[in-house]
C-alpha cells in the first residue's frame, strides 16, 4: 500500500510535471499532443488487467473483460493515431530539407 | 548478494517506475516538432514494458488470464485497424472515441472494486467512487462527442430547464455516492444506480454543446480520463497509473485552457452557456447579399495577384481538399504569386488540425503562419482565399457587440483587397452564426465543395496562362 501522504506527494509532483511539460508547446502540436496524452492514460490497461485477473464472480469477469477491452482500445488506438499524425510532420520536414 | 532476489512485486513496481519516466520523457519530446515522433515511441516502449510485465506477474488464474489476453487482443486489434484506416480529417472524433474507452476502463476498474464490496476503508471507497464517477462521465460524454463529430448525432439537444435537469442528475449522483460511503450501502443496486446516473450526466452535459466547442470538450474529457486513471491508480496501488493519469490530467487541463483562450471563451461558458442560445439572435447584425463568382474569374484574379493568403477551415478538411489546395498554391507560386497560409488557432475541429492536414499535403512550415504573425499582412494581400472557414474570419467578432462570438480573436481577412470564399452553400457555419465577411463589397462567393472548387481554380489558373 502506498502510504496516503506519499500518495499525495506523488500526485502533487505529477501534476506539476504535467503542467510544466506542456507549457511551451507550439499551437501546431496541440492536436497531436492531446492525442499523445490520450495514449499515455492508456496505462489504465494495466489496472484493468489486474482487476480482471483478481475477478472472482461472473459479474466481475464481465465488467473486467469490458474494462480490458476498452483500455486496450485506448492504448493501441491512441498510439496508432498519434504516430500517424506525427509522421506527417516528419514527412513535411523531410520534403522541406530536400527542396532546400 | 542477499538482496539480489527481487520479489515479483518489486519487479512490477520497478517496471512501472521506468514506464512512468518514459511517459514523461515521451510527452516532453512530443511538445517539439523535431522530436515528436520519437516521443510517442518512447511512451510506447513504456506502455509495452508495463503491460508485458503486468501480464507475466499479475498472478491470474488460467481462466482469468485467458479472458485478459482475449480482451487485449480483440480490443487492441479493433483499435489498431480503425486507427490505421481513419482519414486524417476524422482524427478528432477518433481521439474522442479512444479517450472515452479509457474513461470507460477506469470506470470498469472502479465497478469491479465496488461490486466486490470489501474496501478496506472509507478513503479507499471514496477514491474509487470519484474515479468511477469521472471515468463514467468521460466515457459517455466522449461517445456523444464522437457521435456528433462523426455526424451520427446531427443536432444539439436543448430544452428549457436543461441546466436544472443536469444539476439534478449531478446531485443524485453525489447523494448516491455519499450514501454508499457514509451508510455503507454498497449493494449491487446502489452501486449500479450510481454508475447509471454518472453515465447519464455525461450524456446530458454533452448533448447541448455545439460542434464548434467540441475540441475544448474533447480536451476536457481527455484531462478527466487522466484524472480518473490517476484515482483508480490509488485504488489499485499502481504508481504508473497515478503518475501517468495525473500528468495527463494536469497537461490536459492546461491544454483545455489554451484552447478555450484561443476561442476567447471560458470553460464555464463552453459547458454551461451554449452557443446556440444566443446564436439564434446573433443573426441580427448581418444584412446584405452574398455575391457569387465563377471559378474562371476567381482563377484569373488569383493568377494575377501579387500576394494571396489562404485561410483553410473545416470545409477543407471535410472535402479532403488539402492536396488540391496545395496543388493550386504551387501553381500560383510558379506564376510568381506570393502565397501564405493563415491558420487560426481553432480552425477546424481542433487546434493544430489544419497544420496536420497541410503537413500531410506537404506544405512547407515556412508558408504557414499563425494568427499573430499574419494578421498585419492581410492589408497588403490582393486576395484572401477562404476555404471552408467561417467563424474564424467573421469580422463581427471584432465589430458587433451583439454577436455571440464577439471578442474572439479572428483572422482579419476582411482587410484584404479582395476576398474569395469557397463554401458549399449559402447557409450558416457550424456555430449557426451569420458571417458579415460574406456580404462585404470586396467579397465574392465561389459555391461548391472545397475539393471541386480547388480543382476548378487549378484549371482556371492554368487557362489564365
Say what the ipTM of the complex is. 0.91
pLDDT score recorded for residue B360: 83
Question: Does position B431 have pLDDT exceeding 80, yes or no?
Answer: no
Do B211 and B344 lie in one domain? The reply is: no
CA dist., res. B197 & res. B208, Å (int): 18
What residues in A contact B191, CB-CB < 8 Å? Answer: none
Instruction: Note whether residue B308 is domain-resident.
Output: yes
Cell digits for B412?
482579419
Q: Determine the Cα–Cα distance for residues A52 and A50; give it in Å rounded to an integer.
A: 5
For residue range B214-248, list pLDDT tens digits in order: 888 999 999 999 999 999 999 998 999 999 999 99
**Residue B10 placed within a domain:** yes
| pLDDT score, position B282 | 41
Answer whether residue B334 is part of any domain.
yes
| Nearest CB neighbour to B23, from listed A40, A56, A63 | A40
| pLDDT > 60? residue A96 | no
Residues of A with Cβ-Cβ distance to B108 under 8 angstroms: 48, 51, 63-64, 66-67, 70
pLDDT value, residue B459: 92
Q: Do B7 and B109 lie in a common domain? A: yes
List, for residues B82-127, the tens digit of each pLDDT value.
999 998 778 888 999 999 999 999 999 999 999 887 777 888 899 9
Regarding whether B260 and B323 lie in a shared domain, the answer is: no
B198 & B232 share domain:
yes
- Domain end among B237, B272, B307: B272
Question: Among B26, B244, B356, whose Cβ lies nearest the Cβ of A41?
Answer: B244
Tell me what the mean pLDDT of segment B187-193 comes to.
89
Alpha-carbon distance of B121 to B181, in angstroms, equals 9
Q: What span, in angstroms and rounded, lies between the C-alpha atoms of B94 and B88?
A: 10
Whether the predicted pLDDT of B70 surpasses 80 = yes
Same domain membership, residue B317 and residue B239: no
On whether both B251 and B336 belong to a single domain, the answer is no
B279 part of a folded domain:
no
CATH number at residue B327: 3.40.50.1220
Cβ contacts of A49 on chain B, cutoff 8 Å: 51, 54-55, 58, 68, 72
Contact B232/A49, CB-based, under 8 Å? Answer: no
**Cα B30 from Cα B93, distance rounded (Å):** 21
Please name the residue of chain A whose CA is at the shortest distance from the CA of residue B57: A50
pLDDT value at residue A100: 38
| β-sheet with B383-387: strand ranges across | B368-370, B338-343, B307-312, B383-387, B418-423, B443-447
Q: Is the pLDDT of residue B213 over 70?
A: yes
B124 compared with B407, residue with greater pLDDT: B124
Mutation for A interface: B352, B373, B374, most A CBs within 10 A: B352
pLDDT, greater one: B356 or B224: B224
Chain B interface, best mutation among A19, A24, A25, A31, by max B CB count within 10 A: A31
Cα–Cα dist B456/B449, whole Å: 11
- Count CB pairs under 8 A between chains A and B: 388
Contact B445, B291 (CB under 8 A): yes
What is the pLDDT at residue B75?
Answer: 96
Closest-CA distance, B53 to chain A, in angstroms, reads 9
Instruction: Please give the share of chain B, as a percent, with pLDDT higher than 70.
Output: 91
Is B286 inside any structural domain? no
Range of the domain at B42: 3-272
Least reliable range by pLDDT among A32-41, B72-81, B90-99, B274-283:
B274-283
Q: Does A8 touch chain B (CB under 8 A)?
A: no
Residue of B218, B227, B247 lying closest to B110 (CA atoms): B227
pTM of the model: 0.80
- Higher model confidence: residue B180 or residue B4? B180
Tell whether the model's pLDDT for residue B296 goes beyond 70.
yes
Euclidean distance between CA atoms B55 and B51, whole angstroms:
6
Pairing of strands B383-387, B307-312: parallel
Asked if residue B169 and residue B237 are part of one domain, the reply reads yes
- Choosing from B186, B213, B372, B391, the catalytic residue is B391
B213 domain residue, yes or no: yes
Nearest CA in chain B to A63: B108
Is there a single domain that holds both residue B404 and residue B360?
A: yes
Q: What Cα–Cα distance (Å) separates residue B201 from each residue in B48, B141, B144?
A: 34, 8, 11
Active-site residue, B391 included: yes
**Total domain count, chain B:** 2
Q: What is the pLDDT of residue B78?
A: 96
Which of B109, B350, B411 would you mutate first to test chain A, the one with the most A CBs within 10 A?
B109
Residue B205 and residue B155 share a domain: yes
Neighboring chain A residues of B322 at a CB cutoff of 8 Å: none
pLDDT computed for residue A32 by the predictor: 85
Final residue of a structural domain among B272, B307, B330: B272
Does residue B280 belong to any structural domain of this protein?
no
Q: Determine contact: A6 vs chain B, CB below 8 A.
A: no
A35 CB neighbours in chain B (<8 A) are 91, 95
Report the pLDDT value the prediction gives residue B347, as an integer from 0 to 100: 79
pLDDT at B141 > cutoff 60: yes
pLDDT at site B353: 78
Same domain, B162 and B100: yes
Residue position matching grid coordinates 484561443: B262
Is B278 within the bounds of a domain? no
Same domain? For B246 and B352 the reply is no
Checking if the pLDDT of B283 tops 50, the result is no
> pLDDT digit string (tens) for B384-394?
999 988 888 98
pLDDT of residue A99: 47
Contact A7 B242 (CB under 8 A): yes
Residues B197 and B319 in one domain: no
Amino acid at each position: 500500500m502506498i502510504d496516503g501522504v506519499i500518495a499525495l506527494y506523488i500526485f502533487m509532483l505529477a501534476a506539476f510535471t504535467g503542467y510544466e511539460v506542456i507549457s511551451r508547446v507550439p499551437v501546431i502540436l496541440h492536436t497531436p499532443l492531446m492525442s499523445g496524452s490520450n495514449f499515455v492514460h492508456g496505462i489504465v490497461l494495466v489496472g484493468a488487467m489486474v482487476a480482471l485477473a483478481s475477478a472472482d464472480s461472473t459479474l466481475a469477469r464481465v465488467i473486467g473483460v469490458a474494462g480490458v477491452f476498452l483500455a486496450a482500445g485506448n492504448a493501441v488506438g491512441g498510439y496508432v493515431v498519434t504516430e500517424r499524425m506525427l509522421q506527417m510532420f516528419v514527412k513535411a520536414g523531410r520534403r522541406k530539407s530536400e527542396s532546400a | 548478494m542477499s538482496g539480489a532476489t527481487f520479489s515479483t512485486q518489486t519487479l512490477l513496481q520497478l517496471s512501472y517506475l521506468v514506464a512512468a519516466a518514459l511517459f514523461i520523457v515521451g510527452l516532453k519530446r512530443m511538445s517539439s516538432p523535431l522530436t515528436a515522433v520519437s516521443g510517442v515511441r518512447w511512451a510506447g516502449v513504456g506502455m509495452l514494458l508495463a503491460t508485458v510485465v503486468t501480464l507475466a506477474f499479475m498472478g491470474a488464474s488460467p481462466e482469468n488470464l485467458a479472458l485478459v489476453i482475449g480482451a487485449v487482443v480483440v480490443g487492441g486489434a479493433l483499435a489498431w485497424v480503425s486507427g490505421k484506416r481513419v482519414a486524417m480529417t476524422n482524427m478528432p472524433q477518433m481521439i474522442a472515441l479512444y479517450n472515452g474507452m479509457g474513461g470507460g476502463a477506469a470506470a470498469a476498474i472502479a465497478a469491479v472494486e465496488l461490486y466486490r464490496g470489501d474496501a478496506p476503508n472509507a478513503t479507499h471507497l471514496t477514491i474509487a467512487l470519484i474515479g468511477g464517477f469521472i471515468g463514467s462521465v468521460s466515457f459517455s460524454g466522449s461517445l456523444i462527442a464522437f457521435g456528433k463529430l462523426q455526424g451520427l448525432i446531427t443536432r444539439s439537444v436543448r430544452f428549457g430547464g436543461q441546466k436544472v435537469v443536469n444539476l439534478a442528475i449531478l446531485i443524485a449522483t453525489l447523494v448516491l455516492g455519499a450514501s454508499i460511503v457514509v451508510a455503507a450501502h454498497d449493494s449491487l443496486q446502489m452501486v449500479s444506480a450510481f454508475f447509471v446516473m454518472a453515465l447519464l450526466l455525461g450524456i446530458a452535459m454533452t448533448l447541448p454543446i455545439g460542434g464548434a466547442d467540441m475540441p475544448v470538450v474533447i480536451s476536457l474529457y481527455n484531462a478527466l480520463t487522466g484524472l480518473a486513471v490517476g484515482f483508480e491508480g490509488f485504488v489499485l496501488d499502481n504508481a504508473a497509473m497515478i503518475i501517468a493519469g495525473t500528468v495527463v490530467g494536469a497537461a490536459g487541463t492546461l491544454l483545455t485552457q489554451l484552447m478555450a483562450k484561443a476561442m476567447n471563451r471560458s470553460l464555464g461558458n463552453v459547458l454551461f452557456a451554449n452557443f446556440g442560445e444566443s446564436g439564434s439572435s446573433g443573426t441580427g447584425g448581418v444584412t446584405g447579399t452574398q455575391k457569387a463568382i465563377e471559378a474562371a474569374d476567381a482563377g484569373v484574379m488569383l493568377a494575377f495577384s501579387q500576394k494571396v493568403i489562404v485561410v483553410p477551415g473545416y470545409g477543407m478538411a471535410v472535402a479532403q481538399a488539402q492536396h488540391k489546395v496545395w496543388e493550386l498554391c504551387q501553381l500560383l507560386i510558379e506564376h510568381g504569386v506570393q502565397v501564405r497560409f493563415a491558420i487560426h488557432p481553432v480552425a477546424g475541429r481542433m487546434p493544430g488540425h489544419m497544420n496536420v492536414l497541410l503537413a500531410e499535403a506537404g506544405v512547407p512550415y515556412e508558408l504557414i503562419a499563425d494568427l499573430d504573425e499574419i494578421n498585419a499582412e492581410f492589408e497588403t494581400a490582393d486576395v484572401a482565399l477562404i476555404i471552408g472557414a467561417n467563424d474564424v474570419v467573421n469580422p463581427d467578432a471584432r465589430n458587433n457587440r451583439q454577436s455571440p462570438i464577439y471578442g474572439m480573436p479572428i483572422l482579419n481577412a476582411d482587410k484584404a483587397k479582395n476576398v474569395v470564399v469557397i463554401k458549399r452553400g449559402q447557409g450558416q457555419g457550424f456555430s449557426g452564426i451569420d458571417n458579415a465577411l460574406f456580404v462585404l463589397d470586396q467579397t465574392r462567393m465561389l459555391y461548391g465543395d472545397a475539393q471541386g472548387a480547388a480543382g476548378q481554380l487549378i484549371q482556371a489558373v492554368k487557362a489564365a496562362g
